[in-house]
Chain A
């Protein structure tokens, strides 16, 4: 796949690229002025629908379609929540957009608010991004001063306020209804849907929740056009009427065991191998990849043999992964024990489960304790089947939880054990030569405590 000239990342490396002057010099805010002067909100919705833009936060739902779920002729207020709670392990593309080109994000927010008739937009920003906080607040101040935010923007009659709201280090706030609850000042416990936020969201009003990168894409579609956006990526599968295609540029975050970790803009559909070799300078230290996370840890694992899978919205699912997720590609080299990988994954989800649904709270916590026990040389072969059973029964897909966090916790468990079962079995036999075959229940209190 041919490399593309960075568009979403065009400000990276540009001196003072985060300032209003630099953004304007690159053509920024002109599309907004043209839109406010000559287009109706419905025109912007149609433009985004026609572009085929799918949400960049992880779920990949059509952005334009999401907007059309808002009630017609609602008296308001309607809210836009911009999800900047980027917390999926391996993911940092939103951070780069907010730090290096905050005005691109803000122009996208204004256009999206105009399209959805939102009068207030909250950017829910994770606490761990202080530099993004400073850059965004600086850009918001500049945008107010220039008349792009506030009352009667550029004489159009359209008014919009944008506020930054800071999280407090909880992964679940990236789930859209967890985000809404947190913004309302409550525990970030996801809500049962329906009602979806478009009908009843923030402060019980119609609400759209969109990711930072999605906002940047909206700004670029307004500037460069629908045809440009659709000329990049993977068209919909003619044999699958439900596949809306994977259009546009995507920010891939490459990290782990590669020579040059970083955020790279590439067409949707690039393969993990191309990313690693062409952008990342190959697996580090001349080693081979053992496994690769395709889109954040909750998507599971691809084996070395699966690295030619296209990383579009449909690709990773074809090799048993949960999906494209956040397109955060993490390379794990051949020296890493798959037991250590799964322990790290289980520790993350045990820490981040919000505790609302029992299958997730208990499942993530016990999966970690089982992994602790295996690593302590007390594993049994039947633990693997127990982990698979837990993985198969917790989550939205089996219908036992409110949100998808448990599905994300389950996928690395299922993928790691199914794709690397031999290595788990060898590890357990080697470290527990006297007890690997025992099938008696393990006394709960004897298990290593884990947090």
Chain B
């Protein structure tokens, strides 16, 4: 008998199961499942890891092992409703990416990887976002913000943004 789930909803489990026929084994569902949880909760706490492992028939350590590799899934607390990745790789850095990150963080009074106290916005440095033709750029949820300045970025990041994926 496994304990009833507390974190994963039936809807999340249904989404995971809908992807199962795509793969010959259930371990391959690990990353899709983590994305499904993260899209809802904006983080993947340890309780969710245990429950994902239950659903997939894996040891919790196997899921946690994979999760920690990516530095993408927060585990302590949810990221902001808007998660903004500020590119710092070479093409953006040549056009002010590092300064952009610093100025945008300071205008919100947070450090890189930090979240505003109202929980609206998290700002993280990112390696190449693959939009070097629009450097410096920011990925805010599903929106690519192109050719940013500290001023335009601060204005853009204060807007609420849907998250479709």
Contacts and interface: CB of A to CB of B under 8 A. Distances in A.
Interface of A: 77, 86-92, 94-95, 126-131, 133-134, 161, 163, 165-171, 182-188, 203, 253-257, 261-263, 293, 297, 328, 330, 332, 336, 340-341, 344-345, 347-348, 351-352, 354
Contacts, number: 139
A339 to B, nearest CB: 13
A60 to B, nearest CB: 20
Contact of B128 (A91, A187, A254): A91
Interface string B1-33: 000000000000000000000101101111110
Most buried by A among B29, B128, B130, B135: B130
Contact of A344 (B25, B72, B93, B133): B93
B130 A129 contact: yes
A187 B126 contact: no
18 contacts: A77-B24, A87-B130, A92-B133, A127-B72, A163-B22, A165-B31, A168-B34, A168-B70, A168-B73, A170-B70, A186-B30, A186-B65, A203-B24, A256-B91, A261-B91, A263-B133, A344-B89, A344-B90
A185 B31 contact: yes
Given A92-B132, A133-B165, A348-B90, A128 B85 contact: yes
B31 A182 contact: yes
Nearest to A96: B133
A163 B31 CA distance: 14
Interface size class of B (residues with CB under 8 A): 35 or more
Most buried by A among B22, B94, B131: B94
A293 B129 CA distance: 17
Given A161-B22, A170-B70, A183-B31, 10 more contacts: A86-B130, A89-B132, A91-B130, A130-B165, A171-B127, A183-B28, A186-B66, A256-B91, A341-B90, A348-B89
A134 B141 CA distance: 14
B132 A253 contact: yes
Interface string B144-160: 10000000000000000
B163 to A, nearest CB: 9
Given A169-B70, A187-B66, A203-B25, A128 B129 contact: yes
Contact of B91 (A89, A347, A351): A89
A426 to B, nearest CB: 21
B71 interface: yes
Most buried by A among B22, B88, B133: B133
B135 to A, nearest CB: 6
A421 to B, nearest CB: 21
Nearest to A86: B130
Contacts of B27: 184-186
Interface string B112-150: 000000000000001111111111000101101000000
B144 A131 contact: yes
Contacts of A330: 90-91, 94, 132
Contact of B139 (A94, A128, A163, A348): A128
B32 A256 contact: no
Given A87-B128, A255-B133, A348-B89, A187 B94 contact: no
Interface in B51-106: 65-66, 69-73, 85, 88-91, 93-95
B111 interface: no
B62 to A, nearest CB: 8
Contacts of B139: 128, 130
Contacts of B126: 128, 169
A296 to B, nearest CB: 9
A95 B127 CA distance: 16
B69 A126 contact: no
Given A91-B128, A330-B132, A348-B90, A131 B69 contact: no
A167 B31 contact: yes
B147 to A, nearest CB: 10
A404 B24 CA distance: 29
Given A170-B70, A348-B90, A128 B31 contact: no
Nearest to A354: B69
A274 B150 CA distance: 33
